[in-house]
Amino acid sequence: MTAPKKLFIKTYGCQMNVYDSERMAEALGGQGYVQTDHAEDADMILLNTCHIREKAAEKVYSELGRMKVLKDAKPDLKIGVAGCVAQAEGAEIMRRQPMVDLVVGPQSYHRLPAMDAAVQGGAKALDTDFPEDDKFKTLKTRSKAKRGPTAFLTVQEGCDKFCAFCVVPYTRGAEVSRPADRILREARELVDAGVRELTLLGQNVNAYHGHERGLAGLIWALTEIDGLERIRFTTSHPNDMDQALIDAHGTCEKLMPYLHLPVQSGSDRILKAMNRKHTAESYLRLIDRIRAARPDILLSGDFIVGFPGETDQDFEDTLQLVRDVHYGQAYSFKYSTRPGTPAAEKPQLPDDVMNERLQRLQALLRDQQQQTQASMIGREVKVLFEKAGREAGQMIGKSEYLHAVYADAPATVLGQVRRVRIVQDSANSLKGELIG
């Protein structure tokens, strides 16, 4: 009997890449591959890359350089680069690293079986097209193998917003929404495999239009699936947060009280330069409407400091917006250029200025996060337990607010939503006592 080939996938970046890596593994499963956690054991290595962070391409080339040792030791080893860096760099990857066998963009990975057949025959394979065929329709149904209690489910891809700092429209393409019936079918497959919580993914997920009532309509349709207990979604744009979706946060029991809603800056001047097409005031009024629908909702956001042209006053406006909103969680970054984007052509701020601003912003956000965590002490939350903790008899899960919670509990709680009283907070997690 022929031994199965082993596939190692290293995933960078966002949750959509996590989802894509799962689907790549499933696509190659039909070619006889099984996944391994060890690159040195693999017959094929795939780097599923992200182009959002600073110097993303150079980090990929550095990783490929480290893998040359594995390729030298096992000449038949196949190495591939997938994802957004693959889309942006294309043939340049193979030129700089001739040991790479295949390069595939995020919209073409359903063609991996054919690409694998080509490279096994000694050819190189490159596919960074935006194909007309629907990759989700081509991919086979999800595996029925037992899964953990949480999963990502891509419902929308691409973005039409063209923010001045962002490469997503160039690497992921225009906004495309998957038909609701296919999403519902995949969701049922995941629930049948043991999933209890789904996070709906999209570069601009609340622009989803594959259901006649938009993302809110899809969420309500998903609530009808027996066994699905929790629904989340990310990442959203403020301009696509319609009233139906706001209302769903107030009335849909399965939709969790957590919302990631990036604003990027609190300065109207910088927001205009970013091509965000909203103002700080319109964002704040939107937050008021969301909190009116769901007062206990935990808000998360994204911020870029040091965008070209940002003044001290622009940055102070950002700090004020953060104070006005009070985030329970947030992500903040220094601006870094992305070749081909409009902002890349503008004069850049000194690095020391950006560093100082980032430290001040992160200190404020960290203080707000710690205040939010401390406010949970004494409260009862519902935790979906996902795995065992490091200590014996300890289990870890997420509350409805996406806080990591650990508690002494039997292993039988795995995959269950249980009532927990929070008794202690720490920097990145909460300690609770099982009460039901």
**99-145 confidence digits (pLDDT tens):** 999 999 888 888 999 999 999 999 999 988 776 666 676 676 666 67
DSSP string, 87-103: HHHTHHHHHH-TT--EE
Condensed to tens digits (0 to 9), the pLDDT of residues 297-310 reads 999 999 999 999 99
Helix, strand or coil, per DSSP, at residue 326: coil
Q: Which amino acid is at 167?
A: V
Query: Which of 287, 288, 289, 265 minimizes the C-alpha distance to 277?
Result: 265
Residue list, annotated binding site: 14, 50, 84, 159, 163, 166
Q: How far is CA 177 from the centre of its chain?
A: 17
Q: In whole angstroms, give the CA distance from residue 186 to residue 18.
A: 16
pLDDT tier at 415, thresholds 50, 70, 90: very high
Tokens of 225: 């699936």
Q: In whole angstroms, give the CA distance from residue 359 to residue 286.
A: 27
Condensed to tens digits (0 to 9), the pLDDT of residues 232-249 reads 999 999 999 999 999 999
Which residues lie closer than 8 Å to 351 by C-beta, 6 or more apart? 334
Residue list, annotated binding site for [4Fe-4S] cluster: 14, 50, 84, 159, 163, 166
State residue 321 phi and psi, 5-degree precision: -60, -40
pLDDT at 54: 59
Q: Which amino acid is at 336?
A: S
Better-predicted residue by pLDDT, 372 or 144: 372
Helix, strand or coil, per DSSP, at residue 79: strand
Condensed to tens digits (0 to 9), the pLDDT of residues 375-410 reads 999 999 999 999 999 889 999 999 999 999 999 999
Tokens of 407: 């508690």
Classify the C-alpha dihedral 143-149-155-158 as positive or negative.
negative
CB 385 within 8 A of CB 194: no
Q: In whole angstroms, give the CA distance from residue 148 to residue 141.
A: 18
Tokens of 135: 């990759």
CB 395 within 8 A of CB 387: yes
pLDDT at 134: 66
CB 36 within 8 A of CB 42: yes
pLDDT at 262: 97
Condensed to tens digits (0 to 9), the pLDDT of residues 42-73 reads 999 999 988 766 577 788 889 999 999 999 99
Domains defined for the chain, CATH in brackets: 5-127 (3.40.50.12160), 135-375 (3.80.30.20), 380-434 (2.40.50.140)
Please give the mean pLDDT across all residues of the chain: 93
pLDDT at 116: 93
**Where does 276-411 have alpha helices with state H?**
280-293, 312-325, 351-375
Maximal C-alpha separation, the chain = 69
Q: In whole angstroms, give the CA distance from residue 139 to residue 26.
A: 8
pLDDT tier at 7, thresholds 50, 70, 90: very high
Tokens of 215: 């993302």
Q: Of 62-71, 282-291, 354-363, where does mean pLDDT reach its minimum?
A: 62-71
Q: Which amino acid is at 60?
A: V
State residue 307 phi and psi, 5-degree precision: -60, 145
pLDDT at 24: 92
Q: How many C-beta atoms surround the C-beta of residue 214 within 10 A?
A: 18
What is the distance between the terminal CA atoms of the chain, rounded to a whole angstrom?
50
Which residues lie closer than 8 Å to 271 by C-beta, 6 or more apart? 264, 265, 278, 279, 280
